Structure 1
Amino acid sequence: MFTPILLAVAPRTVEWSPAIGLIMIICNIAAIAFGKSTIKNPHTGPAAPLPVGGLSLGALVGSLCFGHILGTGTILGLSYLGAI
């Protein structure tokens, strides 16, 4: 009974493509650079398993979380505009 209403409210999403993956990678790299320059104590806590410029594990996970939020917004915005 509520299916047509739910389908009308659901946002349009794009299928995965290499362009979508590239946008997400660029957003994550930008978020790591932003986190590296703005986190007050980036070395506090356990070390990250990969050498990512001296970020601790917590700083790296936080930066990557921000990168995924940034990437999701970028992808949804670009798909809404019809650019991808």
Structure 2
Amino acid sequence: MFLAVQATVPDTGEWNWIKGLIITGACLLCLLIIPRTIRYPDVGRKTPLPFPLLFNNPSIASFMAAMSAGHLIGIGTVLGLSNLGII
């Protein structure tokens, strides 16, 4: 059964710097948006990020949530653009 699933997965090509930039951009976008939408973003230890007003001085938990969401959105974008043939 694993071989049947493996045969249906399309080839996404090799890793290059454009895919890395897309994931980095998605992570930064999520880091700008998500700490502002969390109900209690300041609970817990703070991250030593530069520009505390820009990044809303997030706690470690909200930083990790933003990075997780950024990776999910970035990987979905890379896979979608690869399947469309744009990347």
Q: How would you bin the TM-score normalised by the shorter chain?
A: 0.7 to 0.9
Which amino acid in the other structure matches residue 27 of structure 2? N
> What's 1:16 paired with?
15
Q: Which runs of 5+ in 1 are unaligned?
A: none
TM-score by length of 1: 0.84
Q: Which runs of 5+ in 2 are unaligned?
A: none
> What's 1:57 paired with?
60
Greater Cα shift, 27-36 or 45-54: 45-54
Give the C-alpha shift of residue 50 in structure 1.
2.6
> What's 2:27 paired with?
28
1:49–1:57 contact (8 Å) kept in structure 2: no
Q: Tell me the number of residue pairs that the alignment of Structure 1 and Structure 2 aligns.
A: 83
Residues 6-61 of structure 1: CA distance to partner in whole angstroms, max 9, x if unpaired? 44123322311111111011100111112022111111111113345310000000
Greater relative contact order (CA < 8 Å, ≥ 6 in sequence): 2
Runs of 4+ more than 6 Å apart: none
1:28–1:64 contact (8 Å) kept in structure 2: yes
TM-score by length of 2: 0.82
Q: % of aligned pairs identical?
A: 35
